[in-house]
Structure 1
Amino acid sequence: MLLSKARAAAPRRAFSRVAPFRPHLLAAALAGLLGAPAWAIDPFTLKDIRVEGLQRTDAGTVFGALPFRIGDSYTEDKGAAALRALFATGLFKDVRLEIVDDVVVVIVEERPIISSVEFTGLKEFDKEALQKSLKEVGIGEGQPFDRALADRAEQELKRQYLGKSYYGAEVVTTITPVDRNRVAVTFSVVEGEVAKINEIRITGNKVFSEGTLLGQLESTTSGWLTWYTKTDRYSRAKLNADLETLRAYYLNRGYLEFNVDSTQVAISPDKQNISVTVNVTEGQPYTVTAVRLEGDFLGKDDEFKRLITIKPGEAYRAESVADTTRRFQELYGQFGYAFSRVEPRTEIDRETGQVVVVLVGDPTRRVYVRKINVAGNTRTRDEVVRREFRQFESSWYDGRKIKLSRDRIDRLGYFSEINIDTAEVAGANDQVDLTANIKEKPTGNISLGAGFSSADKLSLNFGIKQENIFGSGNYLGLDLNTSKYNRSFVISTVDPYFTNDGVSRAIDVFYRTQKPINSQGQEYTLVTPGANIRFGVPFTEFDTVYFGIGLERTEIKAGNTIPNNYFLYREQFGDTSTSLPLSVGWQRDGRDSALVPTSGFYQRVFADWGVAFDTRYVRATYNVQYWLPLGKKFTLGLNADAGIGKGLNDRPYPIFKNFYGGGLGSVRGFDQGSLGPVDVTGAYIGGNRKLSLNSEFYVPVPGTGNDRTLRVFLWADAGNVWGEYEKASLSDLRASAGIGLSWISPVGPLKLSYGEPLRKFPQDRIQKFQFQIGTAF
């Protein structure tokens, strides 16, 4: 409270103030309560200012908040402003002003300081993360204690538990005073059990069955795998998303007037079970009879019409309308119209169940890009981002090039978020500035891990990688693998812009050992040290051609026994063979994801040509993959992998360059590397030609909803390996089929497979169950 005092009255009078401050109301209330008249202060010249009651706060903080100084004229309004300013600092529990002989005495009572913030009974949330988030809102060690903030923190913690379906969770805040005017804040939590959805009902549906509609929702009732997917946990946000999914399902089947009338959510008295009821009105289906364009389409109506995916004679599909609208805006953007508008309208005839879709286009104004900025990069150099732009400054705005630029920046892998914002230039209605807002992520890592497969058994992996060393966009890495059959030590460096035109350069130095799998226990090893250099030349935005040259030496180290073919090769050419291979390759990757692809196309061609020293050969491989989405939940994957090698200049094809087949990555159901020729000692020696054909049909694991990181797949494989002097025939193909499980685990992609050979030969070795971490097909 503010003390009001008459200069001629008693020498020292004071009032204390408790927020919120109302000077005129408090003065009147005080006069009534104390039975005394309110004191009024006549303005006077301030002789001095004193501060009392400080323990930790610096006196300068108090003086800095006061609206008056020594020598100023002091008034009631300035006193009230001083109290407001001091309370606004949040440092004081109480503040009083006393006036003695033209001296203002500021008497403060500091808020206690929080000595610690602790949690008890916490299981669902991470303690450190909660402490960090609370500190950001004022509840943290070393900060002034505010009871109102503590109460809000308690309510927010309860809300977080509600969001995770802990409807019985209780949170109690305990404030414990400690020495030196400090307090310990403890949040005691009783989490209880998770409330689970035990029933979901949809009423009012007539056209589609309740089971069909429930299959579209992310929320499910409890099942045998919901402990993993947590889809049986209720949250309002997830329910709203499900309702939008339901609405989209109907709108994509012609039901333009579909409506969710209401939703009822009921919770059991023990707060453990939740039932959800959704009431809908389907309306009638509508068929598109025509699509009409209105507005300004830049005189290019035919080009816009070719982009229409709405088909007259079929049911109205909201997805097709949205897709057509997006395509129109992108085409406007290619001509420089950055702010175009396309409005879809529907003309409904309820009697006939027909609808005409009208697309109204407005290009607004054409603009060009004045300037391109890069923001958010603290480590990566601007040029690393700028060189990926295909939209240039002082050129007409082109939405297609801007999207391509964003995709190219994203593919660098250096950033977790990339957004390109368009801003109008003040005072110029035909100019815009582009800003690439990026959020950097760590691009260097040290990895130490272990893998296990039915072929290689236990393997250890160690790697040091920096994909954006010194912010230059260059790659530097070291890899070490210690598997049973394939060991390697590789140092690699890549400069993606070795030239200004985007030609990349990669250098590898390696030391590899390989132990081919055989059936008779022969002990021999192929040791290959070497190095190579490759250049990648971008021919289009999506196609890159690689050229390279290498130097490697392969030594055949034999134990007590060795396969006959290797023995003969050593007898003819010696233990060591040196090669100088030239390489060329081409790659196009159009998959939607390299880890969990659901659509897209991938192709890769690679060839080696040994041109000098001990070996003369050519070796080529071709791999093609196609991923086809079948509805919302299912995916079909097809893969073909072929290879051929041939000796040149009357020399045989080097046996250590042979292909191997069988097992994961080839033909499952057969032992790893066991397909193809077998020499007189019974060893599997591979061949110079191979063919693998694979197909996989993916379905979500029952109970996991649409989770694509955990999927069951049915598979069918065919393939074989042929030796240099064998005739390659489709009648020699081995075939198998089975079932598998794919899981993107914390240690990498895991694939388990069980299958039965459908076509096999007497010498084949069968292995029905196979698994591996870190594999694709």
Structure 2
Amino acid sequence: MSFSRKPTFALRVLPLLVASLLAPALANAFAPFVVRDIQVNGIQRVDPGAVFASLPVKVGESFSEEQAADAIQRLYATGFFSDVQIDTGTNVLIVNVKERPTIASVSFNGMREFDAKNITNSLAQVGFGEGRVFDRSMLERAEFELKQQYLSKGKYGVEITPIITPLPRNRVGVSFDIFEGGLAKIKEIRIVGSEAFSQGDLLDQMELTTSGMMTWYTGTDKYSREKLEGDMERIRSYYLNRGFLEYSAEPPQVSISPDRKDIFITLTIHEGQPYTLNSVKLAGDLLGLEDKIQPLVQQKEGEVFSSDKTSGTVKAITDYLGGLGYAFANANPNPVLDRENHTADLTFYVDPGRRVYVRRIEVGGNVRTRDEVVRREMRQQEAAWYDSDAIKFSRDRVDRLGYFNEVDVNTKPVPGSPDQVDVNVAVQEKPTGLVNLGIGYGSTDKLMLSAGISQDNIFGSGNSLSLQVNTSKVNRAAVISHTNPFWTGDGISKTTSIYYRRTTPYQSNDGWGDYQNTAIGGGLNFGVPISEYDRVFMGVNFEHNKLSRLSPEYTPRAYQDYVNEYGEGTNTFIFNLGWSKDTRDSAIAPNKGSLTSLSADMGTVDLRYYMLRASHQHYIPLGRAYTLALNGAIDYGRSIGGKSFPVIKNVYAGGIGSVRGYEGASLGGRDTLTGDYLGGSRRMIANAQLYLPFPGASRDRTLRWFVFADAGKVDNTSGGCPMGRPDRVSEDPCGWKYAAGLGLSWESPLGPLQLSYGRALRAKEGDDKQAFQFQIGTAF
């Protein structure tokens, strides 16, 4: 900004100095006289009152040469005029002015990096825009501001040429011709003064990087002043977390190569020495709760000082007191340093403040959504003691509705009532209607097409209604569903649905069977919340199954046996009961937490069977960028009433989602006539997966590569394992299968992308292996 102030100051002050020196010459020499009248010539847009207000004399007062010079200085200082002359005649003061032109328009040619409207608003903030007086100094300032915008984006080769076009009625049009030039990229980052930690460890803390294989996607090699400031703060936190309480850093030095293509960053830091804690104490007003607060202190005596643990302690104490109604509690850490021995005494001074309760809860910003939809998610109650935990839960529950782009919950003291606060819930609604068309491809299902229409917040009631259809080589489905998440006031949800599904054989490499199973049904299901993370599900579905395209030569033997036992068409009521618990920190790219589910389905009437399911996913963070994911799943089905388990309810495994390295759905028995995959009534899956940051994209958790180990088996609970056609018998299709390999996962704009390269371990004769597997898009 100093560059813009210097020319502005010079161009504004210089005319005043010149006016002061030349004022006697500009005004004809005259003896002082009493002003009988004042005339102003040359005014077009400026209010005459602005001229009269700048004159140091009024009608009836005496006027001298010194006052004439003062008047010229004042009129120039207004910035409205490019020329000012003062004349006298017959006791009349004559002021002749020439107005500066006004800016009629501001335009940009060749600008692609920014939105013209945003840049126009930015220039208006520095005093340059349509309707403003045109001033060369302000033009230079606008040009400087525009160039700074480009420099912040790494466009160091930008060239800006202003073009001034005179227009009628003393106006001008201003056009900026812009050559944006190439993007300067970070060539080198040097850290000077680091002794305790390696350059690599410190560079890993930074978001900015030098150019690499994936920086075309992440953009982390593009210089940004804001990002560099954030990186400096991350390095500072890195040192403070390791006890370097006297860490400091000089302003970063940024230079650019002569061709303006490469940027060099030098960071100079002063580490100091790490400090160990002699003592950690609590002080202040502890409300007699020292035995409750003391366990919240994460920092311990004898440990190296850690800013994360200190901040965590402050948050834990204030959250605990907030849960007791002390909305404005403070816990201030104060380390006292012993520089000679590099030790410190840390004291947390606790000030709970006054206990308060909530007077009212106000909901704002909801135009379409009814108040009750938001209020029923609130765990903080009106006229109850303030509870920070309840307010946090409330905010998360409102956000999880998916109806709002932003959810902000804040408290405001009630004027005149020091023991009361109001809770304000401000939301910004987003469109909740969605029409989607999708295309995906999988190594098993091949081409997948999907389409749907849904309304998650229909009529602002919080209810959802959707229609979804998809089709692939093996499966085709259409589902219409309606969900009322608050069917009862205490949060029991109700979902009604009708569906159509059509399946054809999962064929092995040499399979040739043919059939078609069509299922049409509908269901009613309920969800009962039993905690913030737990939910119990129960319901019933009616389903009609119909097998077609059957023939003794081409229909798999297992399906012919099924028809002989159950018939081509069956009617079934399926009762279900389940429980789930979700503590993951993200549903897209989790880093910690778990997801556990248990469920049981029981079929009655024509198909009498039960299927028990259990699964558990657990995510363990290993440092800032690594995550270990563990998964286990068991499915167990049996028939009821002496008949065999219905083959149309079999489960499958193999490929992405179960045991990679094997053909999709290939685990389990093979039909003895056609060789098609049959799956089984029991499935066991175990996976271990280590997520690693993708080179150049360590900050993007939606793009990660991984190494994995899989194990699984599919067999029949009633015993027996069909091993395929007599001319191609599989040695052990129902045994345990193992695989290991590596892969890539990416939440791409087209949908979730999974790539894996797996090697089947201890494979048996007849196993269908598939090393490279991929899937993009999701079918249901």
TM superposition score category, shorter chain reference:
0.7 to 0.9
Encode CA deviations 1:91-138: one digit per residue, 9 max, x unaligned: 999999xxxxxxxxxx99997675673432x34335676578779999
In structure 2, what is the Cα distance between the partners aligned to 1:617 and 1:316?
A: 61
Amino acid at match of 2:659: V
User: What is aligned with 2:521?
Assistant: 530
Measured after TM superposition, the shift of residue 227 of structure 1 is 2.1
Conserved in 2, the CA contact under 8 Å of 1:522 and 1:559? no
Distance 1:460 1:92, change over 3 A: farther
- 1:556 paired with 2:576, answer no
Distance 1:555 1:114, change over 3 A: farther
TM score, norm. by length of structure 1? 0.85
Encode CA deviations 1:541-579: one digit per residue, 9 max, x unaligned: 221111111111111122562111111111222211111
- Secondary structure of 2:559's counterpart equals helix
User: What is aligned with 1:251?
Assistant: 240
Measured after TM superposition, the shift of residue 721 of structure 1 is 0.9
Measured after TM superposition, the shift of residue 591 of structure 1 is 0.8
- 1:117 paired with 2:124, answer no
User: What is aligned with 1:650?
Assistant: 642
User: What is aligned with 2:561?
Assistant: 568
Measured after TM superposition, the shift of residue 670 of structure 1 is 0.5
In structure 1, what is the Cα distance between the partners aligned to 2:202 and 2:639?
A: 61
Superposition pairs of residues 500-539 of structure 1, within 5 angstroms: 500-519=489-508, 520-539=511-530
User: What is aligned with 2:599?
Assistant: 606
Measured after TM superposition, the shift of residue 154 of structure 1 is 4.0
Measured after TM superposition, the shift of residue 539 of structure 1 is 1.1
Superposition pairs of residues 443-522 of structure 1, within 5 angstroms: 443-519=432-508, 520-522=511-513
Superposition pairs of residues 437-448 of structure 1, within 5 angstroms: 437-448=426-437
Conserved in 2, the CA contact under 8 Å of 1:414 and 1:442? yes
Percent identity among equivalent residues?
44
Measured after TM superposition, the shift of residue 697 of structure 1 is 0.7
In structure 2, what is the Cα distance between the partners aligned to 1:515 and 1:610?
A: 22
In structure 1, stretches of 5+ residues that fail to align are 1-18, 45-50, 55-60, 77-89, 97-106
Q: Cα RMSD (Å) of the superposition?
A: 4.1
Distance 1:626 1:112, change over 3 A: same
User: What is aligned with 2:356?
Assistant: 367
Conserved in 2, the CA contact under 8 Å of 1:665 and 1:775? no
In structure 2, what is the Cα distance between the partners aligned to 1:578 and 1:67?
A: 96
In structure 1, what is the Cα distance between the partners aligned to 2:167 and 2:273?
A: 70
Superposition pairs of residues 164-563 of structure 1, within 5 angstroms: 164-176=153-165, 185-519=174-508, 520-558=511-549, 561-563=554-556
In structure 2, what is the Cα distance between the partners aligned to 1:138 and 1:465?
A: 48
Amino acid at match of 2:412: A
In structure 1, what is the Cα distance between the partners aligned to 2:570 and 2:81?
A: 84
Encode CA deviations 1:694-743: one digit per residue, 9 max, x unaligned: 11111112222332222111011110111243279999210100010111
Encode CA deviations 1:179-221: one digit per residue, 9 max, x unaligned: 8988655332211222222222222222222222222222222
Measured after TM superposition, the shift of residue 293 of structure 1 is 0.8
Distance 1:521 1:317, change over 3 A: same
Distance 1:157 1:490, change over 3 A: farther
Encode CA deviations 1:411-446: one digit per residue, 9 max, x unaligned: 111222222111111111111111112222222221
Distance 1:449 1:149, change over 3 A: farther
Amino acid at match of 1:117: S
Distance 1:144 1:287, change over 3 A: closer
In structure 1, what is the Cα distance between the partners aligned to 2:35 and 2:539?
A: 92
Measured after TM superposition, the shift of residue 248 of structure 1 is 1.3
Measured after TM superposition, the shift of residue 618 of structure 1 is 1.2
Distance 1:462 1:112, change over 3 A: farther
How many residues are paired up? Answer: 732
User: What is aligned with 2:8?
Assistant: none
- Secondary structure of 2:584's counterpart equals coil
Distance 1:578 1:428, change over 3 A: same
Encode CA deviations 1:662-713: one digit per residue, 9 max, x unaligned: 0001100101111101120211111111111111111112222332222111
User: What is aligned with 1:12?
Assistant: none
In structure 1, what is the Cα distance between the partners aligned to 2:170 and 2:499?
A: 65
In structure 2, stretches of 5+ residues that fail to align are 1-11, 62-78, 86-96, 722-731
- Secondary structure of 2:738's counterpart equals strand
In structure 2, what is the Cα distance between the partners aligned to 1:32 and 1:91?
A: 22
Task: Pick the aligned partner of 1:716 from 705, 709, 712.
Answer: 709
In structure 2, what is the Cα distance between the partners aligned to 1:261 and 1:491?
A: 62
Conserved in 2, the CA contact under 8 Å of 1:526 and 1:555? yes
Distance 1:270 1:466, change over 3 A: same
Amino acid at match of 1:714: V
Conserved in 1, the CA contact under 8 Å of 2:714 and 2:735? no
Measured after TM superposition, the shift of residue 229 of structure 1 is 2.0
Amino acid at match of 1:721: V
Distance 1:161 1:337, change over 3 A: same
Superposition pairs of residues 58-77 of structure 1, within 5 angstroms: none
Conserved in 1, the CA contact under 8 Å of 2:670 and 2:733? no
Moved more, 676-685 or 30-39: 30-39
User: What is aligned with 1:87?
Assistant: none
Distance 1:321 1:375, change over 3 A: same
- 1:618 paired with 2:607, answer no
- Secondary structure of 2:422's counterpart equals strand
Measured after TM superposition, the shift of residue 586 of structure 1 is 1.3
Distance 1:40 1:255, change over 3 A: same
In structure 2, what is the Cα distance between the partners aligned to 1:394 and 1:771?
A: 56
TM score, norm. by length of structure 2? 0.84
Conserved in 1, the CA contact under 8 Å of 2:437 and 2:450? yes
Conserved in 2, the CA contact under 8 Å of 1:333 and 1:397? yes
Amino acid at match of 2:439: A
In structure 2, what is the Cα distance between the partners aligned to 1:75 and 1:731?
A: 114
Amino acid at match of 1:305: Q
Amino acid at match of 1:245: R
- Secondary structure of 1:394's counterpart equals coil
In structure 1, what is the Cα distance between the partners aligned to 2:698 and 2:621?
A: 16
User: What is aligned with 1:86?
Assistant: none
Conserved in 1, the CA contact under 8 Å of 2:105 and 2:173? yes
In structure 1, what is the Cα distance between the partners aligned to 2:768 and 2:503?
A: 21
Amino acid at match of 1:771: F
Measured after TM superposition, the shift of residue 151 of structure 1 is 5.8
Conserved in 2, the CA contact under 8 Å of 1:627 and 1:635? yes
Encode CA deviations 1:278-334: one digit per residue, 9 max, x unaligned: 222222222223321111111111111121211323222111111011000001111
In structure 2, what is the Cα distance between the partners aligned to 1:645 and 1:63?
A: 94
In structure 1, what is the Cα distance between the partners aligned to 2:207 and 2:664?
A: 40
- 1:766 paired with 2:769, answer yes
Amino acid at match of 2:246: E
In structure 2, what is the Cα distance between the partners aligned to 1:730 and 1:306?
A: 55
Measured after TM superposition, the shift of residue 39 of structure 1 is 8.8
Moved more, 203-212 or 744-753: 203-212
Task: Pick the aligned partner of 1:733 from 726, 731, 736.
Answer: 736
Amino acid at match of 2:768: R
Measured after TM superposition, the shift of residue 529 of structure 1 is 1.4
In structure 2, what is the Cα distance between the partners aligned to 1:582 and 1:152?
A: 73
